Each structure stands twice: as C-alpha cells, then as structure tokens.
Chain A
Amino acid sequence: MGWKDAWLGNVKGDVLAGIVVALALIPEAIAFSIIAGVDPMVGLYASFVIAVVIAFVGGRPGMISGATGAMALLMIDLVAQHGLHYLLAATILTGILQIIFGLLKLAKYMKFIPRSVMVGFVNALAILIFTSQFQHFVDEGLEMYIMVVVALVIIYLLPFLTKVVPSPLVAIIVITIFALMTGSGVRTVGDMGALTKAFPTLLIPSIPLNFETLSIIFPYSIGLAVVGLVESLLTGAIVDDLTDTPSDKNVESRGQGIANIVTGFFGGMAGCAMIGQSVINVKSGGRGRLSSLISGIVLILLIVFLGDIVAQVPMAALVGVMFMVAIGTFDWNSIRTIRIVPVTDTIVMVVTVLTVVLTHDLAIGVLTGVILSAIFFVSKISRVKVKKIDKGSRVIYEFKGELFFASVTEVIQSFDYEIGNGQNVVLDLSESHLWDDSAVAAIDKIVLKFEEREVQVDIIGLNKSSSELIEKLSRKLSTH
C-alpha cells in the first residue's frame, strides 16, 4: 500500500470506523486508567496521543493502539509506590526501548515465543482484566449487580437486533440514564478522578534525573516494552489475517516506541495495540491510517466537550464493558482443543497463566513460559540411543539422536565399555549430530577410555558440521 493509498484509499470507511472506535475507546481508556491507579485523563490522553501518532508512524494500517489493560496491569506497583510522574518517565523510557528493539529488528524473534505461551498470554490478560473489576463491587449494593447484568445483556443481545451502533455504547448510555433518573448512589467515573475538559499539554515529568530514578523505572519499562510489542505484533498478525495484507513489524515496533515517547510527554500512560479495537475497526470498514487518526481526534473532542456527561457514567456500566473485553480477549479455542494439543503445550499454557495471575506481570509470565517450553523441548530431543553391535573382530556403537550438553551425561553414564579381547571399536555417528563442546568432550572421553585399554577406535559417519567441530575442539578441552 502506497502512502497516499494508506491515507486516502478508503476515506468513507475509515472515517466511519474511526468514529465507532473512538466511542469504544473511551470506556476502555477510563477503565484501564482505573486499573493502573491513575486519573481517567491519563488513559484518555494516552489513547488520544497514541492513536494519532501511530496513524503517522505505525507499520500496520488499520490497527488501533491506545491505553491497554496489559500495560495498565504492569504499572500498578510503580504508580502506587512512586506516583504519576515516575509512570510518565517509565512511559518515555519504554518508548526508547521499543525504538531500539525496532532498530535491532527483534520482531522476527517473536517466533521464539511458542504458540502455547501466546495463548497463555491472552488468557492471563483476560483473567486479570476480569478480576481487576471485582474491586468496584466492594461497598456496593444489589443495584450495582443489577446494572452490571443489564449492561451485559444489552452488550451481548443488542447485536442481534441492530449492529449500526456499538452495543457497549448503548449499554453505557442506558445505564447512565437509568442511574441519573433513579438518583442511584452507585459510584461513577467522576468519583474515580477528575475529568479535565482540556486538551493535553506538553509537560516534562518532574523527577530527579539520576541513577536512582533509572533503577526504579527501568524494570517497569523493560516489562512494558516487551509486553507492548508482544501484544502489538499479535494484533498486527490478526489485522494481517483479517485484511490479507502484509505489514512491516519492525516499523511497527519503532512506531509504538515513538507513540509512547510522545504520550509520556503529554501526560499519558504507556500503551500498545489493542486486539478488540482493531477487530472493531476492520469490521466497521477501517483499512487505512485515517481511521486511527479519526478515532483519536473524535475521542479527545468528545472528552473536551462532553466530559461532564462522561463523569456521570456509573462504574457498573464500565465493569460490564470490561467483562465483555475480558471474555473477548480469552482464547476459548484453547479450552476446546485442550484434548488434542500435546500435554506439554497445555502445561506451558497453564503455567504461563498461573505465573501471570500470581505475579500480575505479563512479562514474567512470557519469560517463564518460554523457559519452560525450552526445557520441554530440550528434554524431548535429548534422548540419545546407543546400540551396540558385535561383529566378531569389531564392535560397532551406533549413536542415534542429538549430542549436546543436555544429552551427553546420560550417554556417558550408560555407555557400555565391555568388549571382548582383541576386538576393535567403531563409533558410528551417521545418525547423530554433535552440537557443542560437551558433545565433543563426551566422544573424546569414550575414545580415551578405550585407548587406555589399548583398543583402537574409529569414528565414522560424522556429518560435515560435526567433524568440523571435532577438528576444532577434540583433545583440546581436557587439557587443563
């Protein structure tokens, strides 16, 4: 897609979709701010700035980015312990890290994150978004529960009647009108923090610029940078699939970085691409860069001009919307297919979910999942079979499998050195591969053991890379 085409190729569809997305972004931006523990404006400014900046610098036209639950969940402790300005500084640092990731072309290494870890990632995210809503039920009465249920009924059943207006928006309007008419005392968005009816302004986070600050924000920033890119690239792949068009993942990484730097300087929290919003955008006809720009502009105009009304929205309505987001985020397919996927995959998925639920940190969850998958993989391929064949004057040992650090110990321990008098030994490695210094050391050790007993050893069937490795390393490792 050319630059002009990306902007003006689909004006009508993009404008309409942008408006729909803006309406859907507002409740989420507010709810994610509340999860992070900051004023609703922080999330709203983030969604505005990110959507606008990404429209220009993103690598995936048709994708929507803004304040997200995954990122909000990572900020909770930082905000609670150090306050908003440290969050803004962490947001800027997150952006810088993501630009570096983009320049290093790290996007291609996303394939090293196994499928089961990605599934665990979205499932954990869904569970955390769901459970983060429970706090809003504290000290509330039956009214709250009824409102949430009514909101959910509207959200899920209205689409059967009409799809012209987004059903979550209708739910919010209906619940708000109901609350205002009955004079209900349930908490509203306004109770969660002030809604400033103003455009964001440029501000420098007021933090001491020293090593201590860096050591506080860096761990958060690295987690935010990784999680932001994982979710953005996953969303990018979904939009690729929906539109059957390719996208530039490295440009997207850089674009996410630029967007986060700008949002940090305008008082917004770190964000990333949003799966749900991007699907809504494509479904509503959005394809180009214009829809993201429109969604950001419409969002800020609505807040600036209708902020008073937004402040009246009961939390119950937002909780309903967040339940919908959680249900939509969860990969229900992973439950359906649990019987047919390998059991180790399921274990990795479940461990990833549990780690995230316990630590509230998606980055740690992904890391745990990747490490566990690697361990499973290593143990799966580290079974080496050694077959001993007696051929009169010679004894042939046939090695079958991968020889490397994880597999050699067992090979050495169970190696059968017993041979008859006057027999020679042949090590047949044609169905094996030597991968590292441990493999060479292991073969050396076997050869030496035989040579100590003055038995002649021949090695046959080495493939090219294995014999190069032996040439380089053999007999050089054991000399202390």
Chain B
Amino acid sequence: MRMPDPDADVLSRRGEIIAALRRIVPGEGVIAEEEELRAYECDGLTAYRQLPMIVVLPETVQQVSDILKYCHGTGVNIVPRGAGTSLSGGALPLEDGITLGLGKFNRILDIDYPNRCVTAQPGVTNLAITHAVQADGFYYAPDPSSQIACSIGGNVAENSGGVHCLKYGLTANNLLGIEMVLMDGEIVRLGGRHLDAGGYDLLGVVTGSEGLLGVITEVTVRILRSPATARALLIGFPSSESAGNCVAEIIGAGIIPGGMEMMDKPAIHAAEAFVNAGYPLDAEALLIVELDGPEVEVDELIGRVETIARENQAESVRVSTSEDERMNFWAGRKAAFPAVGRISPDYYCMDGTIPRHRLSEVLTRMNELSGRYGLRVANVFHAGDGNLHPLILYDANTPGELEKAEEFGSDILRLCVEVGGVLTGEHGVGVEKRDLMGEMFSEIDLNQQQRVKCAFDPTQQLNPGKVFPTLHRCAELGRVHIQSGQTRFPDIPRF
C-alpha cells in the first residue's frame, strides 16, 4: 500500500513543530518518544503500520483549533484518531504527519430526555452512551461489534453500523448534530438537537467521511426507549441457499427483525468450539433472528418466523425462552472473530455488501476462490442487509501468505461489486480498499467526491492517502471543462 511521499522539509522541522505543539498543549499531551509513539503505529487493521511523526492529545476544542491552525499555516498533515479500532486503516499514521488523538475528549456533556438525545465528546465509547441512559430505560441504537471500545466520534467518521441497523439504522440515521474543527482552525456546528438541515445536509456528508473533512469535537445523538422485550431464534439449515430464501421470505412477509445474522459451517464450528453455545454442528448455515418490541408482537412474530423457517427446510429451530438463552444464542456470533482467531494464526476480515438474493452464488464463487488461493474462509453475514464479513484465514509467518490473503480479499470485493453490491458496508475504505475504488466508481465519480473534500479541506492536509486512490490538487479539480457545441443556447447573452 503506497502512501504519499513524506515531505522532507516537514520532517526536518520536527523539533520546531514539537515545540509549537507543546505551547498549545502543555504537559503530557505531546508525544514524541519512539516507544510511546509505537502505541499509535496502527489501528484495528494491524497489517499496516507506520510510526507517526508526532502524536498530540488535546483536551479542549480551542487546542484542537489552534493545532489545526498551526498545521494549516505550516503545511503539516493531520491524521485524526478516535479509539483506533478502525478495520480499514482509517487512522493509519503518516511518517510526516501528526496523529491527533481525541481520547481525552471522554465526557458525556448532556443527557436531554425532553428532546431524547445525548451530547458527548467524541472520545466517549459507543457503549458508554447506552450505559449513561439505560437506568432510565433508554439506549443508543447503533451497536458495532467493537462498541465496548470504539468511540462515538469514530462512529460518526465511519458511519458505523452494527447488528441492529437493519431496523434502527446506521450512525447517520441516529445523529443529530456535531461540532467540528476545519483544517484552517475554524469551529463549526452542523445540526443540533433538531431534525434535518435548513440548507445543504453537510452533517450527512461528513458522516462516514473517514476523517478527511474535519476533526469532530462534539456529537449529539438520538436515544430510544429500550424495547419491552427481545427474543431470538436459532435456526439450522442444510444449505446457505435455504437460509437465504428464509431471510428473503421473512422480509417479504413484512417482518423487519431487530437483528438477523447468518454464519456458514466453518464459522459455526469455530464459534461452537470457542463458546459452546449449542450451535447445530451439522448445519451448513445458521441463522440467528432476533425480534424486539412489545411482548405480544414479539410472541406473534416468533411464531411467524418459525413457520417460514420450517417451510424453508430448517433442520433445527430453537426459540429463546429466557434472557440468558437469548444471550447464549448471540455469544457464538459475537465471539466469531476471536473464535476464528483460535483456529488460524491470523485472519483478514472483509466487509462487502451484496444484494441478498445473490448470496448463494457469491458463497459458491468464494469457495472456488478459496480453493484457488489455498486459503480457508469463514463467513459471518448481516443477513438482513446483505453485509458480508468473510474472514480469510492465513498465517502471516508464512512468507507471501498475507499478500495472498489480500489478493483473495480484493477478489471477494470485486465479486461483491460485480453482483451489484459495494466494497464496504460498514468498515470504511481507509487505506485498505482505497485502490479498489475504481472498481465501483468512474474517474468522474471520484473527482466529484474529491471536490467535496476540497470544499472542506482545500489544502488536503486532513488524512491524506486515505479513501481516494489518486490525489488531485483542488485547483486542478476546480477547473471547468467546456466540451459542448453550444448550439442549444446560441442567442443567450453571456453574463
């Protein structure tokens, strides 16, 4: 993965930059020692590592603004970082860049029940928001698997999803407002405690922009009343095709479950060996369907889903009868990644989305690829919304195997795009899928996206080297190309 060439001039000014940062952030907030920098050399995508030039951990919005203003004036690049759990390398440092960590922004600022929202600093974890309101019966709906560690600011930057987003939406659908600092140091507020934008939906486009548009310093999200009850079904199928048909029929019947997850045989076995959740080991595909809401509704829908499952060759159906049992159904799924980690020295997690009805075709072709590359693959799948997480098993200590796993992964993502899907459902492009963007977008599409980048960060100093395969200068992108014969409007005076 090629990153932008480091700027020798910036590297030569390192000492001066450290001194300037220390004037802005006093005390321990500026990290320049190699062994301390080591903790920041990668995020959740550990295959890529780079020591940052400097790490700075500001504590106030004013400090963030001053840092960015200084860097803007002196041509130093910035990599914003939340909890560092990105699976796409979104927080991968730059050799000549400052990693700006928001870990000290860790307070919940306001819990507002009359308007049913919470305002938090960006370093607060996703789960901490739910914890702050659950005693009063509320929760924050998006629940990425890393929710115990990932930060709400990072969730906004990545537009994180989770198991429940089929019914309750992604971060974008649950976000009301942010405060953000632009690269030139200007502090802006987008949204607030109200719904929708009065003008352009800038909040909407910043969500999922992977730290390339601004540094988020405050977040306001909607909270929901916790559902009265939740129950789950654990359904074993003789083929992924019958499981896929079952999913289609559940949705076709007008049922939107709180969560609907599928696992293939290798994933079932790995998870069962790890947590003994009682998963059916003879099943080719396992479906966990969770229904939440008022009790009468959940009881009724459980019955409907069970009927649909049996009509689709389900070989085993278990319905949770207690909260413990429901949690147990989930235990295997939630532990799927570490469970796979036990059966293989390393694994590489992919994140494509496909139209659901192409599932069995995609799985078949993935198995062919698996044979061709000689690497095993286990699949967990957000079945309701078509978001696949193939886990490619490899051994980084075997020379060439990481590269092979990456090529296999790229082929899987190309396959997702080919069948009408996308490169990434919830993990982001980052550095990982940057060079595959051309599979999905034309140069015109990518240039238009980069012009949005230029609208926020004309000097392109925020997180360069991420998302876009080719960096064009903003001045070049701004030029208007006239290619027409003008015959349609011949008599119009120009203004």
Do A and B bind? no
Residues of A whose CB lies within 8 Å of any CB of B are none
